[in-house]
Amino acid sequence: MSESIKVVCRVRPLNEQEKANDSKFVVSFPGDGDTTVFLGGKMFSFDHVVQPKASQLEVYEVVAKPIVADVLNGYNGTIFAYGQTSSGKTYTMEGILGDPVFQGVIPRIVDDIFNHIYQMDENLEFHIKVSYFEIYMEKIRDLLDVSKTNLPVHEDKDRVPYVKGITEKFVSTPEELFKAIDEGKANRHVAVTNMNEHSSRSHSVLLINVRQENLETQKKLHGKLYLVDLAGSEKVAKTGAEGTVLDEAKNINKSLSALGNVINALVEGSSHVPYRDSKLTRILQESLGGNARTTMVICCSPAGYNEAETKSTLMFGMRAKTIKNLVTVNEEITADEWRRRYEQEKEKVGKSHTIVSHLESELKRWRAGETVNQADWFTENQYAGALDDTRDSTTRSSVPSTPMLDSVTTSTPRSAALTNASPAKNVGDVQLQLLYQQFDDRGDEINKQAETIARLRQQIEEQDVNNSLRTESEGQFKEITALQAKYQSRKDEAKEVLQALEELAMNYDQKAQEINAKAKELKRLRKPCYYKPV
């Protein structure tokens, strides 16, 4: 079933920074305002337009609520937010977790999934797994196991991309799922820029995998729900990014550019869609032109300061709205079901042999020169009756009753051509699959080599630090040795001075004693002499 991508435009109110800069509200909503946006002299139409005063609940009702039932019934679903930095993407997808009024799409959809399950048939058994990762600097990083920093993207037997080695946690309650979300959210890269105090520096993907089994009929369905919060496109002149933040901005803009190229290729019907140009587009491959019911939320600023970026976002959404996805139920066929289908096909083949026998008999009579009465012709109606179990009745009634011989003779070359072409096509598919497998394997090798190079680079940096420390240590040791020698020299000098001082002190004491003795002698000599008269 072919379905267009659903595009919802959300215009936020002016933020405090825009109000402080006296930015004008340049977006308008003509008519009822539910499907159109007017900006810069141009009208933009979408499946739905959410105006600034809309609540988080209103946004959820429009964006996500229908997808819950789809995923539980075996369909794949994707919801992702796109827009410039600080346009409200993370607020739309996450909001304030735990707040019943301001929580966003993700927490509401978690509650809704479990509420639906609780109300469904008791014969249905559900298994729910959750994965949470980010694409940071073009590397896939597991947010539930931060030791996994560069995971590869592979394709399964149906050529559906998946992240190899990603952590999958089984959850059975909303609380367990919220715990996983909180754990992953705490590990996500954010930074402060001139336009956003909590700017996401990576694309985050929350994957909820739901498997359902009917215990009575053994019927199994599985659906995947991708909830994607894209990092915002940035103009460095506005954000003031520098250093690591600047490198992050370059990678963000590069991956968003690759996303735009994929959407342009799908819109133009190009034979080659460049999904492999980035990790982001490979992850979203099933969501864009594949097997998924996809809703894109384009988030816009209404400020005149951001008019160019808002117009670019609106044009992006207009292009994406024309993309068609081929949506099918993901059903796991059991052995009993395969057996039933085999028996059905076997019966069909038996009836086909009967038809061929009738046609060959009629053909022999014609070739023998006999005249076959029209009543004996094997007609389309008889063919339809023979394949009553496998042919649609409306199709039979619309086909005229004509000799089957003519249709067989005209269709045989086409069947033969298809039969002859089929092996070549199969070989081509196998070769293509092998090439993709080799590509993925080579990607694994490149990732491993990149990890090895990163590890070696780290070792080299550590060695450089050690060498620098060693050189610095040697220099300091030399300085210490020189200081010690200088100290010893000064110590020796001080010792000599002390010895000299001690000698001076001894001489001083000796001289002092001599002086005291002289003084006493002098004093004695100065005493007056008294002579007795004779």
Q: List pLDDT tens digits, range 24-37.
A: 999 999 987 789 99
Segment 383-403 mean pLDDT: 46
302 — pLDDT class (breaks 50, 70, 90): very high
Residue 87, annotated as binding a ligand: yes
224 HSE (CA, 13 A, CB side): 20
Confidence of residue 426 (pLDDT cuts 50, 70, 90): low
- Residue 288 and residue 4: Cα distance in Å, rounded? 10
pLDDT in tens, 87-140: 999 999 999 988 999 999 999 999 999 999 999 888 899 999 999 999 988 899
Cα separations in angstroms, 86 against 20, 55, 90, 234: 16, 18, 9, 9
Of 518 and 333, the structure prediction assigns the larger pLDDT to 518
Question: Cα dihedral sign for 424, 425, 430, 431?
Answer: positive
Q: With 60 as the cut, is the pLDDT of residue 399 above it?
A: no
Least confident of 130-139, 265-274, 370-379: 370-379
129 is in an annotated binding site: no
| Distance set, CA 170 to CA 126, 180, 284, 416 (Å) | 11, 10, 23, 50
Average pLDDT over residues 314-326: 94
Q: Does the annotation list 90 as a binding residue?
A: yes
pLDDT-derived band at 322, boundaries 50, 70, 90: very high
| pLDDT in the model for residue 487 | 86
Q: In the prediction, which pLDDT does 419 show?
A: 38
Q: Please tell me the predicted confidence (pLDDT) of residue 424.
A: 52
Instruction: Give Cα separations from 385 to 178, 362, 364, 393 (angstroms).
Output: 57, 18, 23, 10
Is 513 known to sit in a ligand binding site? no
> Is 84 assigned to a binding site?
yes
User: What φ, ψ does residue 138 adopt, rounded to 5°?
Assistant: 65, 25
Band of the pLDDT at 196, cuts 50, 70, 90? very low
Mean pLDDT across 476-484: 87
- Name the CATH superfamily, with its identifier, for domain 2-332: Kinesin motor domain (3.40.850.10)
Contact 107, 93 (CB under 8 A): no
| pLDDT value for 79 | 96
Residue 83 marked in a binding site: yes
Name the β-bridge partners of 233: 84
State the Rg of the chain over Cα.
Answer: 43
Q: What is the mean pLDDT of residues 67-95?
A: 92
Does the annotation flag 260 for ligand binding?
Answer: no
Q: Please, what is the Cα angle at 177 between 174 and 178, to 5 degrees?
A: 85
Q: Does the pLDDT value for residue 320 go beyond 90?
A: yes
DSSP 95: B
Res 407: pLDDT: 40
Structure tokens at 309: 């970026």
| Res. 388: pLDDT tops 70 | no
Measured between alpha carbons, how far apart are the two ends of the chain, in Å? 166
Query: Distance between CA 164 and CA 186 in Å, rounded?
Result: 23
- Residue 420 in this model has a pLDDT that exceeds 70: no
409 among annotated binding-site residues: no
Query: 372, 386 in Cβ contact below 8 A?
Result: no
Kindly tell me if the per-residue pLDDT of 228 is higher than 70.
yes
- What residue segments make up the domains of the chain, in order of their start? 2-332, 335-415, 427-534
Which bin fits 288, alpha (ψ -120 to 50), beta or left (φ > 0)?
beta
